[in-house]
């Protein structure tokens, strides 16, 4: 079952990158995210799965659709960089080899109990870094929105 789910995810991922039509590519991307969310639910991580479906298939896909409507759906065909496929295949081969040679050494803690203060216990030291990254991204979003608005004002 999980192989079927994940194979479909990979097929849709390739389709979203290779389909010429933008809206079709976006639909493939959205379906991929729904399937990934479904897979997390299948893995019994229900909240993560629902979060994935709502945020990715709902929010980000619609955000990209909004971008497409701003720019238009016509994207000129581009020439592929010759090293791109080689790089990705080489990366896959390297990481898979490294993982397979070290997978037996991974610790298993399957009986770890769920902990309500898991985040603060595990990532308490990193909260400031997370907050800084989030705040800088939020600042960049607002700044870009203002720039876009002022640019529109100049055009009008």
Partner 1 sequence: MFEIDMLFAFGLFSIGLYGVTSKKDFLRIFFALEMLLNAVILMLASGAVHLGATQNIPLAYMVIVFATLEAAVGILIFALSNRLTNKVIPDTIGGIQ
What is the Cα–Cα distance from 93 to 77, expressed in whole angstroms?
A: 29
| Contact call for residue 4 and partner 1 (CB under 8 A) | no
Which of 4, 50, 132, 133 is close enough to bind partner 1 by CB under 8 A?
133
> According to CB under 8 A, which residues from 65 to 124 bind partner 1?
66-68, 70-71, 75-76, 78-81, 83-85, 87-89, 91-92, 95-96, 99-100, 103, 106-112, 114-115, 118-119, 121-123
What residues contact residue 123 under an 8 Å CB cut-off, 6+ apart?
Answer: 130
Residue 128: CB minimum distance to partner 1, A: 13
Helix axes 2-18, 22-42, angle to 10 degrees: 160
> According to CB under 8 A, which residues from 14 to 73 bind partner 1?
14, 16-17, 22, 25-26, 29, 33, 36, 39-40, 43-45, 48, 51-52, 55-56, 59-60, 63-64, 66-68, 70-71
What residues contact residue 150 under an 8 Å CB cut-off, 6+ apart?
Answer: none
Q: Quick one: how many helices (H) and strands (E) in the chain? A: 7, 0
């Amino acid at each position: 079952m999980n192989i079927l789910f994940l194979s479909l995810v990979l097929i849709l991922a390739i389709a979203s990158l290779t389909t010429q039509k933008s809206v079709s590519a976006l639909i493939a991307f959205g379906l991929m995210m729904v399937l990934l969310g479904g897979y997390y639910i299948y893995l019994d991580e229900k909240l993560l799965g629902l979060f994935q479906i709502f945020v990715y298939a709902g929010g980000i896909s619609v955000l990209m659709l909004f971008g497409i409507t701003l720019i238009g759906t016509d994207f000129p065909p581009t020439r592929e960089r010759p090293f791109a496929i080689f790089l990705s295949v080489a990366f896959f081969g390297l990481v898979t080899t490294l993982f397979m040679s070290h997978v037996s050494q991974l610790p298993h803690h399957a009986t770890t109990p769920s902990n309500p203060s898991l985040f603060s216990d595990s990532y308490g030291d990193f909260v400031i870094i997370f907050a800084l990254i989030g705040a800088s991204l939020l600042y960049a979003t607002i700044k870009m929105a203002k720039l876009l608005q002022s640019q529109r004002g100049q055009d009008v």
